[in-house]
Amino acid sequence: MTWLSQLYKRAKAWLPLTAVLVGMLFGCSPARAKDDQHYVFAHYMVCFAIYGDSLDGYKRELRAAQDAGIDGFVLNVGAWTNNPSYVLRTKTIFQAARDLGTGVDFKLFFSLDMATLRNEYLQEIVRTYANDPCYFHYKGRPVVSTFAGGPSLNWKEDFLKPLRAEGIDVCFVPHFFPHPKITELPDESVIAGHLQQWSDTVDGMFYFGGAGTDVQLTTCNAAYTKVMHAHKKISMASFTPFYWGGWRYFETEGGQGTERQWLSIIKTQPEWVEIVTWNDFNESYICPISEYDIKKNITGLLHPFRYDHTGYLELSKYYIDWYKTGKQPKITKDTLVYIYRSHPKDTVTPDNARPVTARHGNVQDVIYLTTMLTAPAELRVTSGTTKTCIRVKKGIQQTQVPFQVGNQHFELYRKDKCLFTQDGEPISDKITEYNFFSITGVAY
């Protein structure tokens, strides 16, 4: 071994300590978790910089997530030095968390995306940030997750063991698809066999529940948590607002599906929840962002049209609070969340371009309405030329109204007094692209 390689080896060994000392210098320490505290994270696609890959843009995203009760981002990295944008953006995201003064409040950790990430980068990624002041630690150990992977690597010998030899004792909570046949919606027996395969490697498992109806996702999450807890492992459940991958669509019934998934999570009590996702604009996302910002900043989209998903985020905020505190929050402000598609389900483009060939669940042409009220009221919905009046109760109520092509308008009345009025995006049957991404909105 040359003197240069010896120097490099010693320098690597000092990196974790150096990160800790830097954190102490700036008055912060690695983001340590309280062992009995529930956490909610959001899966974050580093490849999509929502407001551009600037420090201020990332701060804006972190604040929006924090305002909804989200504790941190799980950074999906599908490349590293072979695509330097991942290295630069990750560095900026960590800097944004530090600059906000949220080192112990907003947490960051990695989801190693094994669909595209090369094995040669795995240890380098974790080594670089494991002791950063903003990195998420559980029981003193840096947490690492994955998307896919499984038997593509001997994770215990070739990933965990070398890092532990350097003093980086990873808490490993991956999402591996059950094998030998990839199963997106496994039942309890499949999950049990899956855990047995990896029991000496993982500290827990994450269920990346993207493709499924809300009922299917709820069932799988509950089964994962049951199996993990039976074997004293960490369960990281998922919440998926909807899923459309461009050719297959899974109906989650707006606020009904959101409520169903979160109530199951509250009942089954997984240690953590990961929202799938914050910003995967090709499949499922929950972030509040205008179509203008998406078109301005995001490249690599499969389809041209996206909508602000503030509705999903606002509704989830209520259940996130409930899950984390163990107490159902009191409703203090009259709120309406509406969710619907921008065109009827059977609308066909002139050339039938990129048809949606697989639709799952109860796909209907309806507006999904969630009212959260301090007292009973009357909800008035005008869809196209059709007007509907609904008596809605105090508390939370889920309602469906058939939609018509044209303008969409919402009003809430109590004792003949209009509490709010709001217009939604119009619905059209003249389209050039199929778009099963939901329109959402919130009125107060």
- Taking only the tens place, the pLDDT of each residue in 227-240 is 999 999 999 999 99
* CA–CA dist 47, 45 (Å, integer): 5
Asked if 420 and 444 touch (Cβ cutoff 8 Å), the reply is yes
Q: Can you say whether residue 85 is alpha, beta or left, with left for phi > 0 and alpha for psi between -120 and 50 degrees?
A: alpha
Residue 304 has a pLDDT of 62
Calculated CA dihedral for residues 77, 79, 84, 88, nearest 10 degrees: 10
Q: Which has more confidence, 205 or 1?
A: 205
Asked if 31 and 72 touch (Cβ cutoff 8 Å), the reply is yes
* CA–CA dist 342, 268 (Å, integer): 35
Percent of the chain with pLDDT over 70: 88
Residue 357 has a pLDDT of 77
Q: What is the 3-state secondary structure (H, E, C) of the chain?
A: CCHHHHHHHHHHHHHHHHHHHHHHHCCCCCEEECCCCCEEEEEEECCCCCCCCCHHHHHHHHHHHHHCCCCEEEEEECCCCCCHHHHHHHHHHHHHHHHCCCCCCCEEEEEEECCCCCHHHHHHHHHHHCCCCCEEEECCEEEEEEECCHHHCCHHHHHHHHHHHCCCCCEECCECCCCCCCCCCCCHHHHHHHHHHHCCCCCEEECCCCCCCHHHHHHHHHHHHHHHHHCCCEEEEEECCCEECCCEEECCCHHHHHHHHHHHHHHHCCCEEEECCCEECCCEECCCCCHHHHHHHCCCCCCCCCCCCHHHHHHHHHHHHHHHHCCCCCCCCCEEEEEECCCCCCCCCCCCCCCCCEEECCCCCEEEEEEEECCCEEEEEEECCEEEEEEECCEEEEEEEECCCEEEEEEEEECCEEEEEEEEEEECCCCCCCCCCCEEEEEC
Closest residue by Cα to residue 365 from 340, 386, 339, 390 = 340
Mean pLDDT of 195-222: 96
pLDDT tens digits for range 298-344: 777 766 667 889 999 999 999 999 999 999 999 999 999 999 999 99
pLDDT of 23 strictly over 70: no
* CA–CA dist 242, 439 (Å, integer): 12
* CA–CA dist 114, 302 (Å, integer): 21
pLDDT of 204 strictly over 50: yes
**Structure tokens of 269?**
């009590």
Residue 20 has a pLDDT of 41
Give the sign of the dihedral formed by CA 163, CA 165, CA 171, CA 176: positive
Residue 108 has a pLDDT of 97
At residue 140 the predicted structure's pLDDT band, cuts being 50, 70 and 90, is very high
pLDDT of 30 strictly over 50: yes
Q: Which has more confidence, 13 or 396?
A: 396
* CA–CA dist 444, 398 (Å, integer): 16
pLDDT tens digits for range 241-270: 999 988 899 999 999 999 999 999 999 999
* CA–CA dist 163, 152 (Å, integer): 18
Mean pLDDT of 81-98: 96
Cβ within 8 Å of residue 213, ≥6 positions away = 250, 251, 252, 257, 360, 361
State the number of CA atoms in the 13 A half-sphere of 197 facing the CB.
Answer: 16
pLDDT of 393 strictly over 50: yes
Q: Lowest mean pLDDT: which of 151-165, 283-297, 382-396, 400-414?
A: 283-297
pLDDT tens digits for range 167-194: 999 999 999 998 767 889 999 999 999 9
Asked if 408 and 293 touch (Cβ cutoff 8 Å), the reply is no
Q: Lowest mean pLDDT: which of 92-101, 103-112, 113-122?
A: 103-112
Residue 416 amino acid letter: D
